[in-house]
């Protein structure tokens, strides 16, 4: 029984990172020009603005890109 529990725990621990989704932080730079990060990531020039699955939120991120990067007053 202990071996079965150990095997299941080991399998779960090794499988979890495989399902983890990458997250890109606002202000982070691309590693190289033209890099594809996915459909939900908003990029301005070579800086990442943010990411969200909702197209309305992505539109808002693109529209206010300067404020997200340089804190508008």
Per-residue pLDDT of the chain (73 residues; tens, 9 = 90+): 777 767 777 666 665 555 555 666 667 778 777 788 888 888 888 888 888 899 999 999 888 888 877 777 6
Q: How far apart (Å, rounded) are the C-alpha atoms in residues 60 and 73?
A: 17
The torsion angles phi and psi of 47, rounded to 5 degrees, stand at -115, 145
| Nearby residues of 22 by Cβ (< 8 Å), 6 or more positions away | 37, 38
What is the structure's pLDDT at 59? 93
Q: In terms of C-beta density within 10 A (0-12 exposed, 13-18 middle, 19 or more buried), how is residue 33 classed?
A: exposed
Q: How far apart (Å, rounded) are the C-alpha atoms in residues 2 and 8?
A: 10
What is the structure's pLDDT at 21? 55
Domain ranges of the chain: 22-73
């Amino acid at each position: 029984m202990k071996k079965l529990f150990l095997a299941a725990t080991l399998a779960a621990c090794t499988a979890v990172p495989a399902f983890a989704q990458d997250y890109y932080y606002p202000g982070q730079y691309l590693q190289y020009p033209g890099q594809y990060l996915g459909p939900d990531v908003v990029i301005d020039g070579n800086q990442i603005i943010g990411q969200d699955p909702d197209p309305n939120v992505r539109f808002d991120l693109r529209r206010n890109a300067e404020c997200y990067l340089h804190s508008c007053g």
